Amino acid sequence: MKDCNQCGKCCQIYGDGGLSATQAEIRWWQDNRPEIARFVQAGRIWMDPETGEALTACPWLKPLPNQNKYGCSIYEDRPDDCRQYPVLVSDMIRDGCEMIEAIDLKRPKVAQTKLDQLMIDSRAQQR
């Protein structure tokens, strides 16, 4: 399994209503990051602050200049759904994640162990 190459696929796939945030996260954004809270409506995240409609893409995913990569402009304050992805190798396969290598497909249990190890820091940073 490779390290994340910032292809942005996961954010593009789930940035249009496929994510959620806890009430604690939403309250934290309201208190500390109102620019993020603007994109929350009725407990749903990434809603257009003007129309109330779901956005078709995550508003925080930004292409990096002169690269075929993406960055998250709220990375340190992103919701746990983002922080914890990917959870399962099967999700990565389904989503076309570029971290997957051919060997991972042949040895999914080993790949899952490697993924869990790679993600241990991100998953531990929950609020």
- Which pLDDT tens digit goes with each residue over 45-84? 999 999 999 998 899 999 999 898 999 999 999 999 888 8
pTM: 0.80
Reading the block at residue 47, the tokens are 């809603």
Q: What is the pLDDT of residue 18?
A: 77
79-119: pLDDT as tens digits? 998 888 888 999 899 989 999 999 999 999 999 999 999 88
pLDDT at 126 over 70: no
Rounded to an integer, what is the distance from CA 54 to the centroid of its chain?
A: 17
Tokens 């060997």 map to which residue? 103
* Dihedral over Cα of 54, 11, 120, 28: its sign: negative
| Gap between the Cα atoms of 127 and 124, Å rounded | 9
